[in-house]
Structure 1
Amino acid sequence: MSIKEKQNITLNYELKLNDEIIDTNMDKESISFVYGSGQIISGLELGIKDMNEGETKIIKVSPKDAYGEYDEKLSETLDISEFEGIDLQIGMVLEAENDRKEPIRATVTDVTKEHVTVDYNHPLAGCELEFKVIIKSII
C-alpha cells in the first residue's frame, strides 16, 4: 500500500550533504509522523509519496524544497558589547527572542575585538540534500 494523506508513516533515513553522512537514524529508533502534516521538509515528503512499506529509495531535495536558498540579508554584524559575558566561538549557535517573543537562532560566523557577525539562515539553507529512506510502516 502506497502512502496517502493523513497516514502515520514510520521510517529510517540517512542524510548526506556533498556525499558525507551528516545525520542518520539507520541504527536507531525510527521516526514517525503524519503524512501531509508538514512535520518533515516538503521535498522529502513529496519524495516518499508513492513509496510502499519496506521500500528503500534515494531522494534528492533542492534547497527550495528543504531549508530555502541562502539569503545574504540574514547575516548581520553587531557590536561585541551586545554579547558581554558570552565566550563567543565561531560556529556557536545563539538563541534569543525576536520582537514578537518568538525564538530565533543565529550562528556566530565571525568574531573580532569590536564586532560579531551572526547568520540567521538555517545551517542547511542553500544546500542540496540527499536522503536514503526506508519506509518501515504505513498505518
Structure 2
Amino acid sequence: MAITDEDSVTISYTGRLDDGTVFDTSDEDLAREVGLDQENPERDFKPLEVKLGSGRIIEGLSEELIGMTVGDEKTLTIPPEKAYGEYTDERIADYDRGDFEEMIGDRELAEGFNVETEDGLPGEVKEITPDEVVVDFNHELAGETLTFEIEVLDVE
C-alpha cells in the first residue's frame, strides 16, 4: 500500500548534515557510536511513528514519504526551506537583563541556557551583558541542508 498524506507511518532513519555529522537517528547502535545517546540520555532511539499531516515532521520528509511502501528505502536531501527554514537575524531577540532574570526565577542565567516563550517557541541564550540578554530563537538546524536515509517499516 502506497503512503498517502494522512497515513500513520513507521520509519527507521538517520539524519546527517552536509559534512556527514549525524544529528539524529532511530538506530540505537549508531546513536551510541556518535554520542547522541550521551547528549540525550533519556531518549529511546527507536523507529519513528508519525501521522502524516500532523505537523510532527518536517515538510520535506513528509512530502518524500508520499508514494513509498513498506520496505522501501530512500536517501533524500532536504533544503532548509523544506526543513527548519533559513537562519535569520529576525529570530534573535534582546531582553532587559533584570526583566529576563525575574522571568526565569531562581534558575542560573548562563550562555547556552534554554528558554521557551509562552507560545512554546524554544530559544537559546547567546549573549549576556550587564544590561541585556540576547536570545536566538532560530532552530538549531536552521539554514542546514539535511540528508536522511529512511526505510518504511509500517503503514496504516
1:6 pairs with 2:6: yes
Q: Distance in 2 between matches of 1:62 and 1:5?
A: 20
Q: Which residue of 2 aligns with 1:51?
A: 68
Alignment coverage as a number of residue pairs? 135
Displaced runs of 4+ in structure 1, greater than 6 A? none
Which digits, 9 at most, give the CA deviation of each residue in 1:31-60, with x for residues without a partner? Answer: 212233433111001122232211221111
1:75 to 80, 87, 92: 92
Structure ranking higher in helix proportion: 2
Match status 1:128 vs 2:145 = yes
Partner of residue 93, structure 1: 114
Structure 1 alignment gaps of length 5 or more:
none
Select the structure that is richer in strand.
1
| Residue among 6, 14, 33 paired with 2:50 | 33
C-alpha RMSD of the superposition: 1.8
CA distance in 1, matches of 2:125, 2:62: 31
Q: Could you tell me which runs of 5 or more consecutive residues in structure 2 were left unpaired when the two chains were aligned.
A: 29-44
Query: Identity of paired residues, percent?
Result: 31
Alignment partners' CA distance in 1, 2:61 and 2:152: 12
Q: Structure 2 counterpart of 1:67, which letter? A: Y
**Separation in 2 of the partners of 1:38 and 1:96?**
19
